[in-house]
Amino acid sequence: MSARNAAGRLIGFFAGGFIAGFNENLVNMALVAIMSEFSVDAMTAQWLVTGFMVVTVFVVAAMAALYRRLGPRTLLFVALACNALGSMGGLVAPTFAVLFASRLVQAVGTGIFIPLMMNAILETVASEKLGTYLAVGNGMIALGPAVAPVATGSLVGAFGWHSVFVVPLVASALIGLWGLVAVRPSRRGDVQGNSVSLRGVLLNRGFVAAALLVVLTMSIYFSLNVMGPLYLEECAHLGPALSGLCLGPLVVAYAVASLAGGRRLDRRGPAPLLSRGLAVAAAGSVLMAVAAWMASEITLLAGMLVVFVGCGTVCANFQTTGLRCLALNQHSLGVTIMTMAVQIAASIGPFVSVGTMSGIQGVVGEAQSALGYGGAWLLAALVCVLGSLLACWACRQLWKWRRNNADAG
C-alpha cells in the first residue's frame, strides 16, 4: 500500500487516538465547577477521573480477544457510539450520578481507541515503515492531554462545564463519517485470529524488555506532565493557565521528536537510538534538578524540553521494536500488553514522583520545597540511566533474534 493510501486508511484511527488522550483529561479543568453545581466534595468528584481510568484499563485488557472476534470496523463504531453516548450524557447531565455513568460509558470508547489504532497500523503499514506510523500514533495520543486543559478551560470559562463534552461528540460524528467510507467490513481471514496464549508472548525476552521500557519511559513522561506545572505554580508562583501554556509547546516537541525517532528507526534500526534517547532524558532530568535548586524557571523549562525530546524519540520505538519480535498472530495480544504498559505508567509515574517529592519535603520542611522537586527529578535521571542500559540489552536481543531467524531461513 502506498504512503498516501496508508495515511488515508489510518487518519480516522489517528484521530481516535487523539480523542482517547483528550478524553482522559476532559473534566480536569471542570472539576471545581462540577463540585459547586452538584454540591460534592473533591474525593467524590475525583471519581470522574479515577473511575474513567479503571474502566479504560479493563477494556484495554479485553481488546486482544475483541479485535479477533469483531474486527476493526465493528470496534470502531462501537467505540464511536460509546464516546458519543457518554458525551451526550455529560452534555445534559442533571445529576452527578448521571454524569458519572456517562463518563464510564465514554471510557469504554476510549479503551477501544488506542489499541484499535495500533492494530490498524500493524495491519496496514509495511514492516519497514512501522516505526514512523507508530510514532505518529504515539504523538497523537500525547497531544490529546496537552490540548485538553487549554481547550476545556476556555470552554468552561465561556460556556460552562457541560460544554466540554461537545468536543468528543463532534469528533465522534466526524470520525464516523470517515469510517463509513474508509473502513471496509472484515472478511473471514482478514484479522489474524489464531488463539495465542499470554505465556507464549511473555516468553519473548525482547518483547518483555520493550514493554518494560515503555512503562519506564511513559512513567517519566506522565510524571513530568504533573510535576512540571506543579513546580511552576508552587515555587515559581505562576498561575495554572500560564503553567498549562508552558507545557503545550513541550508536548508538541515530544510529538515531533516521536516522528523523527520513528523515521530514524525505520532507516537505521534501533541501535544506538533507543539507549541514547533515554540518556538524553537522564541529562534533562539532572538539569531540571539543578534548575529547581537554583530557582531558575528558564533552566527548568530547558531541562523539561530535553526530557520530552529524549522520551519522545524512543517511546513509540520501544513499542515498534517489541512488536517486531512477535509473530503476526501475536500482534493483537502484543498491542494489548503495550497499551496496558502505557496505562500502568500513567498511574505509577505521577504516584512515585509526587510521593518522592512529598517525602523529601516532609524531612526538609515546606520552606525548602524545591529540594523535594530536585530529589524527584534526580530519581527520574537514575531511572533513565537504568533504562538506557536495559535498552542496550534489548537491542542485542533483537539482533540475536534476527540473526537466528536469518540462519533458520
Spans of the chain, pLDDT less than 70 = 1-7, 186-200, 240-241, 244, 366-367, 398-409
Question: For 74-105, what is each residue's pLDDT tens digit?
Answer: 999 999 999 999 999 999 999 999 999 999 99
Query: What's the confidence (pLDDT) of residue 213?
Result: 92
Q: For residue 55, give every residue at least 6 positions away whose Cβ sits within 8 Å of its Cβ, in sequence order, or none.
A: 104, 107, 108, 111
**pLDDT at site 193:** 46
Question: How many Å apart are CA 368 and CA 5, to the nearest integer?
Answer: 56
Question: What pLDDT does 280 receive?
Answer: 95
pLDDT at 7: 67
In this prediction, residue 194 carries a pLDDT of 46
Q: pLDDT value at position 186?
A: 67
pLDDT at 376: 92
Cell digits of residue 99: 454524569
Q: Which residue has the cell 500525547?
A: 142
pTM of this structure: 0.80
Cβ atoms of 318 and 221 closer than 8 Å: no
Cell triple for 41: 466534595
Radius of gyration over every alpha carbon of the chain, rounded to an integer in angstroms? 21
3-state secondary structure of 172: helix
Cα–Cα distance for residue pair 8/125, rounded to 1 Å: 12
Quick check: 334 and 208 in contact, CB under 8 A? no
CB atoms < 10 A from the CB of 378, how many? 18
